[in-house]
Chain A
Amino acid sequence: MIARARLPDVGMALAERHFEPLTRAGIAAYADASGDRNAIHLDDDAAQRAGLPGVIAHGMLTMALLGRYLTDLVPQENVQHFECRFVAMAFPGDRIACRGLVSDVQSSENDRRHLVLDLQAANQANQTLAAGRAIVEAPAAITQTTDGPDAL
């Protein structure tokens, strides 16, 4: 694993990270762990009755991966806000990539700096699945690890 620390600045790209493909078993494990056992995540027939080609991953599973990406970049206690808009569905077999950039640096009244991070989760066709944004208290440096793909 290669770790690299850089001072965060506006426009700084965050190293892209790739995750291993989503699996039905992995989606089912997320369903159990999150408590969201909606049948469209577990049963192809139910998903098809809902007009889907088959089971889909939870949007919140994609957000959890973006969250993992985020908290590997900055200490979790620095994260003040984290939001995500679910743009497209993720399916078993999809390989999710997370990327982002520092879109703004703000100075607050107590002289602490905050970073606005624009985040994106995309599939192997480079279609955006989720568009995220985080506001974090600026760490001294962002440690980027480039390795992969990362196990789910």
Chain B
Amino acid sequence: MSPDSAVSSDLVTRIDAFRGRTYPPFEVAVHQEGVAAFAAAVGTTEDPVPPTYLFGLTIQAGQSFNVLDDMGVPHAQAVHGEQSFDYHAPVRIGDRLTGRQRIRDIGVKKDGALIIVQIETPLSRPDGAPVATLGSTIVIRAAREGAE
């Protein structure tokens, strides 16, 4: 065990309690202005809606990094490690989508120095037809807490 482990184990225990947590459903609209601003920022066109725009939609709906707030982890102590998208149907301007974020798994690496949080967010149309499933991996540097 590293000296940091004792310090970080409280944080690990606290965060591990979030495993499997499902958040309340949220709703987002795909606005033309929002897509246009995103497309301009990455130098592409707004039609079709850029493939990674959906992640921004979850942020705008107060999702994704909100798990850090709930865990009491400063955003500066975490990094976005991985992101995935599975596409089931095209997204179009004017769409209204509903999502429901779930903490799929929580793991520990490097003797507790890193906590790995995996979030899954399916997005669907109001009739339930799936549009996309987002997967985010957030890496929390646990050893920083009180150790430096």
Contact = CB atoms under 8 A, between A and B. Distances in A.
B85 interface: yes
Interface residues of B, number: 30
B51 A79 contact: yes
Contacts of B51: 67, 70-71, 76, 79, 82
Contacts of B48: 71, 76-77
B52 A60 contact: yes
B52 A64 contact: yes
A81 B84 contact: yes
Nearest to B141: A51
Interface of B is mostly: mixed
Contacts of B37: 29, 32-33
Contacts of A65: 42-43
Contacts of A81: 84-87
B84 A26 contact: no
Interface string A60-86: 110111011011000011011111111
Given A34-B55, A63-B52, A26 B85 contact: no
A147 interface: no
B79 interface: yes
B76 A60 contact: no
Which bucket holds chain A's interface residue count? Answer: 35 or more
Contacts of A30: 41-42
A34 B50 CA distance: 12
A152 B42 contact: yes
- Lowest 3 CB-CB distances: which A-B pairs, in order? A83-B84, A50-B76, A34-B56
Interface of A: 19, 26, 29-30, 32-36, 38-40, 46, 49-51, 58-61, 63-65, 67-68, 70-71, 76-77, 79-86, 150-152
14 contacts: A29-B37, A29-B41, A32-B41, A33-B41, A36-B65, A59-B79, A59-B83, A61-B42, A63-B52, A64-B50, A67-B50, A82-B85, A84-B83, A86-B79
